Amino acid sequence: MLRRLLTIMLKEEKLDFKLGIIARPGAALANKTGSFRSEIPVFKLDKCTGCDLCIYYCPEGVVFGDKKTKKYSFDEDYCKGCGICAEECPAKDIDMILVEK
How many contiguous H segments (helices) and E segments (strands) does the chain have? 3, 4
Q: Smallest distance from the beta carbon of 47 to ligand SF4, in angstroms?
A: 7
Q: Which is nearer to ligand SF4, 6 or 88 (CB)?
A: 88
Amino acid at 64: F
- Could you list the residues that contact ligand SF4 (CB under 6 A)? 41, 43, 48-54, 58, 60, 62-63, 72, 74, 79-85, 89, 91, 93-94
Q: Smallest distance from the beta carbon of 55 to ligand SF4, in angstroms?
A: 7
Q: Which is nearer to ligand SF4, 10 or 50 (CB)?
A: 50
Cross-strand partners of 64: 73
Q: Smallest distance from the beta carbon of 25 to ligand SF4, in angstroms?
A: 10
Q: What are phi and psi of 92, to 5 degrees?
A: 50, 45
Instruction: For residues 67 and 51, give the distance between their C-alpha atoms in angstroms, rounded to a whole number.
Output: 7
Q: Smallest distance from the beta carbon of 11 to ligand SF4, in angstroms?
A: 26
8 A C-beta contact, residue 81 and residue 96: yes
8 A C-beta contact, residue 62 and residue 56: no
Q: Which is nearer to ligand SF4, 17 or 56 (CB)?
A: 56
